[in-house]
A and B are shown apart, each in its own frame.
Chain A
Amino acid sequence: MKARLALAVAGVALGLWGLRLLFGALEPAALVRRPVWLGGAVLADDFFLVPLTIAVGWLVTRWSAGPDRHRTIGAVRTTFLYVGISSLIAVPLLLRQGTGANPTVLPRDYLRDWLLLEATIVAAGVVWFVVQRSRFTFRRSRASSGDIGGR
């Protein structure tokens, strides 16, 4: 209990110190706008990004109810997730491509690189899918032939 109390007190103190820094050195107009950005960050996470993953996860799980599909759902789900997270990080780079403060900021062809990255992730997903599938088929055929005491 003492540890919890100490943590809470330290936390409140540091948080108030941060708040003081946040509201210091600022003209009143900006004070109003910053909470809007803070709130926007929560809305983006809680009402867009997380529901999106939950919805896609739900769709994938529903799709996987078909015969034999539970063997492949892992590859499908992980591929979706990795495409999503890498694209999320890529969005600002794609939006700002060519508008860097000088030619050494954002020097890549981000559209090409992003497409290559997603293609690589999907290809890796397909390879994993095929490997999983062939391992399963192999196991099933051995099991049904009876040489390892299958069902």
Chain B
Amino acid sequence: MKLPAPPSEKSFASPLHHPRVATVVGRWLGVAVVVCLLTGLYSHFQQDTPGWLHIPSRPASLYRVTQGLHVLSGTIAVPLLLAKLWTVYPKLFAKPPWPPSRQALATIVERLSILVLVSALALELFIGFLNTLQWYPWPFPFRQTHYALAWIIIGALLVHLAVKLPLIRAHWRRTSVERKPDSLPPAITGLTRRGLFRTIAGAAALVGITSAGQSVTALGPIAVLAPRKPNVGPQGLPVNRTAEAAGVTGIDANWRFTVMAPRPLTYTLDELRQLPQSRSDVPIACVEGWSQAARWEGVRIRDLLALAGAPTNSRVRVVSMEKAGFYATSELPAEFAADPLTLLALRLNGDELALDHGFPARIIAPNRPGVLQTKWVHRLEVI
């Protein structure tokens, strides 16, 4: 029996496997990747701030916007990446260069760089999306891998651009093929380029609109592809780490809140409630992309620092009653500690904090990732 011939570059008849299509779809994917990278780096530096970097405490909702965009651009990149791979798919079956020459070597290096780019980008989008579900079926640490892959993607992308630059330049602008009206497609049944671009943009919009609602409140009801509903949870606010998961069961009559400073302070919960209370309208914005506005009431951190005689521009270490975990302590940089919106919050949306939201007291600061809004706080240390 004779086996059918394996496909070659010529087996794919559609005229849409064309450098112009690859250039246009590549541009869209490039925008999504760059937005995703920049917002991702911002989030990384929020959690791991290098000494040379200054992160401002305002605008208060900045992190909500950047992290929402991070997850949204990553999700939208899924259809865009698939469309890009579809466009250039025939290249996968291009004959390997033979006999060996300098040209052949360059081709092999180029194809290896594409292998790196495609594998890293596909895995990055996959683990990123699963992380928003808090699902980790792989045997490696998520955060470090997600961060390292980002640099590999950008590196491989720059190499890819360097290789393809002449081709991209030649196909950057529209040609007459797309200016013609869509009366009858060229091969009657084939899709025109304009039609293809519209279809891809539609797919990206569909995926975006059905998942953006986890951070864009107005789209909440139709966010059927989002792992979170921003108003579901105790006191109308989702939870990432529950009290049970953190090993916190509540407090007894001996509970004291302390501030370690030049003039150490100790308060019972009732005494904290007697201090002047302030209100902050600051959203909770999670690394996983969801966010929700909330109204917090409690004592300003800067008021506590003043009572404790701490110098202005003090940094503050926040210590939780949480038993273990990466985020049992956090550090408030001086600008965040001094911001009038930063509270030791005792109340949320008009009620006492729920245990899952950090009862009896939690930190709430503007423009910060949710994981740094430490819950179940029992000590502040002025550094």
Interface-lining segment among B129-137, B170-178, B259-267, B323-331 = B129-137
Residues of A contacting B233 in the complex (Cβ-Cβ under 8 angstroms): 103-104
**How many chain-A residues does the 8 Å CB contact rule pick out?**
72
Interface residues as binary, B77-113 with A (CB distance below 8 Å gives 1, 0 otherwise): 0110110011001001000000000000000000001
Could you tell me the distance in whole angstroms from the C-beta of A37 to the nearest C-beta in chain B? 6
Report yes or no: A107 in contact with B228, Cβ–Cβ below 8 A. yes
**What CA separation (Å) do A26 and B144 show in the bound complex?**
9
Report yes or no: B156 in contact with A15, Cβ–Cβ below 8 A. yes
Decide if A59 is an interface residue (CB 8 Å cutoff).
no
Report yes or no: A50 in contact with B82, Cβ–Cβ below 8 A. yes
Report yes or no: B148 in contact with A38, Cβ–Cβ below 8 A. no
Q: Quick one: which of A21, A82, A101, A103 contacts B134, CB cutoff 8 A? A: A101
Q: Which residue of B lies closest to A47 (CB)?
A: B92
Interface of B is mostly: helix
Which of A15, A44, A82, A114 counts the most B-chain CB atoms under 10 A from its CB?
Answer: A15
Interface residues as binary, A52-92 with B (CB distance below 8 Å gives 1, 0 otherwise): 01100100010011000110011001100110011011101
Which of A14, A29, A78 counts the most B-chain CB atoms under 10 A from its CB?
Answer: A14
**What CA separation (Å) do A150 and B291 show in the bound complex?**
59
**What CA separation (Å) do A123 and B203 show in the bound complex?**
16
Report yes or no: B155 in contact with A17, Cβ–Cβ below 8 A. yes
Decide if B255 is an interface residue (CB 8 Å cutoff).
no
**What CA separation (Å) do A92 and B239 show in the bound complex?**
20
Could you tell me the distance in whole angstroms from the C-beta of B72 to the nearest C-beta in chain A? 12
Can you list 15 pairs linking A and B with CB atoms under 8 Å apart? A15-B152, A21-B148, A22-B144, A45-B81, A77-B199, A78-B202, A82-B203, A86-B206, A89-B210, A93-B227, A100-B227, A102-B356, A104-B228, A105-B134, A110-B224
